[in-house]
Amino acid sequence: MDNFTVGVVVFPGSNCDRDVSWALEGCLDLRTKYLWHESSDLSDVDAIVLPGGFSYGDYLRCGAIARFSPLINALDEFVKSGKRVLGICNGFQILTESGFLPGALVANKNLNFICDDVELDIVSSKGGWFNNVDEKQTIKLPIAHGEGRYHCDSDTLKKLVDNELIALRYKNNPNGSSFDIAGITNEKGNVLGLMPHPERACDEIIGGTDGLFTLKSLILK
Q: Which residues bind other proteins (CB under 8 A)?
A: 60-61, 64, 68, 96-97, 102-104, 106-111, 149, 151-153, 176
Per annotation, catalytic residue among 16, 97, 199, 202: 199
145 is catalytic: no
Q: Are 111 and 179 in contact (CB under 8 A)?
A: no
Taking the least distance from each CB to other proteins, the nearer of 32 and 98 is: 98
3-state secondary structure 152-177: CCHHHHHHHHHCCCEEEEECCCCCCC
Bridge partner residues of 5 (DSSP): 31
Nearest to other proteins of 30, 152 (CB atom): 152
CB of 131 to other proteins, least distance (A): 31
- Contact status, residue 199 vs residue 26, Cβ threshold 8 Å: no
Name the catalytic one among 89, 97, 147, 152.
89
Q: Check if the beta carbon of residue 75 is closer than 8 Å to that of residue 85.
A: yes
Distance of closest approach, residue 151 Cβ to other proteins, in angstroms:
6
Residue 101: which H helix or E strand, with range? Answer: none
User: Cβ 101 to other proteins, closest distance in Å?
Assistant: 11
Nearest approach in angstroms of CB 217 to other proteins is: 28
Nearer to other proteins, 184 or 202 (CB): 184
* Nearer Cβ to other proteins (60/161): 60
Antiparallel, parallel or unpaired: β 138-145 and 47-50: unpaired
Annotated catalytic, 89?
A: yes
Active-site option among 62, 147, 152, 197: 197
Judged on CB neighbours under 10 Å (0-12, 13-18, 19+), 26 is exposed
Q: Which residues pair with 191 in a beta bridge?
A: 85
Active site (annotated) includes residue 199: yes
Residues with a known catalytic role = 89, 197, 199
